Every structure is written in structure tokens, then in C-alpha cells.
């Protein structure tokens, strides 16, 4: 793939970072335009967007570091190795090397959600209504983020012999992560499921669905909860095909029948990764809140006027 767009002054302009920036800017533009249509002050949303970006970035990076803590501790002690070169490193700043990949979506989203609730409460803005206004831009930004993952070769899938398989070159994170499984001097990895593109396509569908839902929603919070229910389902399915080393399983469970049906390696675990567990908990919580808010709306409509 193309981890770097161009080389400048001995360094590279990383595709991953550029696409994340593009996704965030498009999300901001879309949200502010929608705010104007609904009579909400766009400047207040721009300010909120800054805090969401900071909180989301910190949360995404922290959760990634926690899931691969041994690597970063080893790098600081001089017993680890650089992901892209395999050379032994002694570098305590490794956790800051975001351009090498390493942002966990759920860490960023949940942190941004907490920051957003805090800021909206402090500024006495309607939390659920504002969340509904922002939510369609989230899968749009995530779509570009997953394209960045594809360019960098991170978040890759399990080996596959299907026509969908994509081989990643030596400068990709997939190649460095799978180095021990590749022949010496291999030109690329074995064909892998392009899970980055699977999720990107799903995010795009969710984006258009939320846009339509926002125009006909029946109660505040409906768009937010719809996303919190549908995205975890998408993520749970995509996780079955994920094969990167960052997968951490609460329980490593696999079935040869399912793997054979999906064209996956026989012993590859399909369930239950950390992200799948978080997905199931988030989806269950969203469904419960959806039912509660719908019941409250029905009760308020049925209540006689004073």
C-alpha cells in the first residue's frame, strides 16, 4: 500500500495521518452546516469539536498502549524492536509514535463521549439533541480513518485464498507484524482479508442511514443510540476476520466449521476479542436505553394536557 504520500526533508507525510485529518475536517464541516439548518450556533459546536478531538485521540492511543503494554515497556528497556524495521530499539518515546499506527477506535470514541457529555453539561446544551446532530459525521470520519489503516497496513485481516485477499509490502505494519511467518526476503505478505475496507464500506452505509434517520427521528437520542447499536454489530463481524497482533481475546474460541465456511485458517480464533466484548456491551446498553427513551416518549404523548 502507500504508508507515505510524499517524502519531505528526510521524513514522510504519512497517509494514515492525512486521511484521519481529512475525515475530521469533513465531519466538522458537515456538522456545522447541519447546525445552521437546525438553528444551533455552529461556533459552539466547533469549540466542542476541539475537545472531542483531544479526548478521542488521547483515549484511542491509551487503549492501544494498554493492549500492547509489553511492547512499549520493552522498547523503553531496550528489549523491544521497531515495528517497521525489526531492529532492537531503546526508546521510551515509542508510545508517542502515532504515525506508525496504533489508535483503538473504542478507546477514542468512549473517551470522546465522556468529554462531550461533560462539556455539554457544563455549557447547559441539550446533550441528546446535540449528540444526534453530531452522530452522522462520526461514521464519515471513521470511514476515512479506516482508509488510512489500509494505506498503513495496520488493522489487517487473517490469511485468505479468496479473490478478496490483499498482500501488503515490506513498508507496511502488516509485513512487520507477520515477519516471522514470511519467507526470508519475501516481497509481500500472504493475501490477507482487507478488513480495513470491510469496515470502511460498513461505516459509509451507516453514515447514509443516520442521515436519513436524523430527518425522521421521533425522540432526542435516537440517532446516537442507533449508531451505538449498529456499529458494534458491524465491528463484531469484522473482528472475526481480523488477524493483526493487536487482537487480544478474553476467550479465544474458534470453530473449524465456521472457519472453513468463511475461508479462515482452521485454528484462528473467531471470538471473543476485547473489541467484540466491548461491542456486545455497548450494543446491549444502547438497546436498553432505546427502549427506555421510546417508552418515556410514548408516556409523554399519551399523558393528558394539564
One-character DSSP codes across 211-267: HHHHHH-SSTTHHHHHHHHHHHHHHHHHHHHB--TT--EEEEE--HHHHHHHT--TT
Distance CA 86, CA 82 (A): 5
Residue 3: pLDDT over 70: no
Residue 116: pLDDT over 70: yes
The per-residue pLDDT for range 184-230, each reduced to its tens digit, is 889 999 999 999 999 999 999 999 999 999 989 988 999 999 999 99
Contacts of 212 (CB under 8 A, 6+ apart): none
Region 154-162: mean pLDDT is 89
Residue 39 vs residue 306, higher pLDDT: 39
Domain boundaries, the chain: 4-179+188-294
Mean pLDDT rounded to a whole number for the chain: 84
Phi, psi of 179, rounded to the nearest 5 degrees: -50, -40
Contacts of 255 (CB under 8 A, 6+ apart): 270
Question: What is this structure's pTM?
Answer: 0.83
Residue 94 vs residue 79, higher pLDDT: 94
pLDDT at 275: 86
The per-residue pLDDT for range 63-88, each reduced to its tens digit, is 878 877 777 777 777 655 555 455 55
Query: Which residues are bridge partners to 142 per DSSP?
Result: none
* Residue 260, CB-side half-sphere exposure with 13 Å CA sphere: 3
DSSP character string of the chain? --SEEEEETTEEEEHHHHHHHHHHHHHHHHHHHHHHHTT--HHHHHHHHHHHHHHHHHHHHHHHHHHTHHHHHHHHHT-EE-TTT--EE--TTGGG-GGG----HHHHHHHHHHHHHHHHHHTT--HHHHHHHHTTHHHHHHHHHHHHHHHHT-S-B-B--STT-B---TTSHHHHHTGGGSPTT-SSPPPB--HHHHHHHHHHHHHHHHHHHHHH-SSTTHHHHHHHHHHHHHHHHHHHHB--TT--EEEEE--HHHHHHHT--TT---EEEHHHHHHHHHHHHHHHHHHHHHHHHHHHHHSPP-
Distance CA 237, CA 195 (A): 10
Amino acid at each position: 500500500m502507500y504508508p507515505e504520500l510524499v517524502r519531505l526533508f528526510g521524513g514522510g507525510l504519512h497517509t494514515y495521518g492525512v486521511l484521519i485529518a481529512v475525515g475530521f475536517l469533513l465531519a466538522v464541516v458537515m456538522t456545522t452546516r447541519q447546525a445552521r439548518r437546525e438553528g444551533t450556533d455552529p461556533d459552539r459546536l466547533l469549540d466542542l469539536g476541539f475537545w472531542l478531538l483531544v479526548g478521542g485521540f488521547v483515549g484511542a492511543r491509551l487503549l492501544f498502549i494498554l493492549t500492547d503494554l509489553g511492547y512499549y515497556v520493552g522498547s523503553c528497556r531496550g528489549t523491544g524492536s521497531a515495528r517497521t524495521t525489526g531492529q532492537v530499539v531503546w526508546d521510551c518515546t515509542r508510545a508517542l509514535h502515532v504515525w506508525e499506527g496504533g489508535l483503538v477506535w473504542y478507546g477514542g470514541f468512549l473517551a470522546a463521549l465522556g468529554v462531550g457529555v461533560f462539556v455539554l453539561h457544563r455549557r447547559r446544551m441539550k446533550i441528546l439533541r446535540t449528540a444526534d446532530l453530531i452522530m452522522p459525521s462520526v461514521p464519515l470520519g471513521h470511514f476515512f480513518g479506516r482508509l488510512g489503516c489500509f494505506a498503513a497496513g495496520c488493522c489487517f485481516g487473517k490469511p485468505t485464498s479468496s479473490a478478496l485477499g490483499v498482500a501488503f509490502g515490506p513498508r507496511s505494519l502488516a509485513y512487520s507484524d507477520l515477519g516471522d511467518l514470511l519467507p526470508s526476503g519475501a516481497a509481500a505478505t500472504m493475501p490477507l482479508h482487507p478488513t480495513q475496507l470491510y469496515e470502511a464500506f460498513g461505516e459509509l452505509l451507516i453514515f447514509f442511514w443516520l442521515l436519513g434517520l436524523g430527518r425522521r427521528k421521533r425522540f432526542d437520542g435516537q440517532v446516537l443510540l442507533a449508531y451505538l447499536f449498529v456499529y458494534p454489530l458491524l465491528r463484531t463481524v469484522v473482528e472475526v476476520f481480523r488477524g493483526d497482533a493487536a487482537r487480544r481475546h478474553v476467550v479465544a474460541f474458534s470453530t473449524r466449521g465456521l472457519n472453513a465456511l468463511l475461508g479462515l485458517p482452521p485454528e484462528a480464533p473467531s471470538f471473543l476479542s476485547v473489541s467484540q466484548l466491548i461491542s456486545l456491551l455497548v450494543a446491549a446498553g444502547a438497546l436498553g436505553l432505546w427502549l427506555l427513551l421510546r417508552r418515556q416518549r410514548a408516556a409523554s404523548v399519551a399523558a393528558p394536557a394539564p
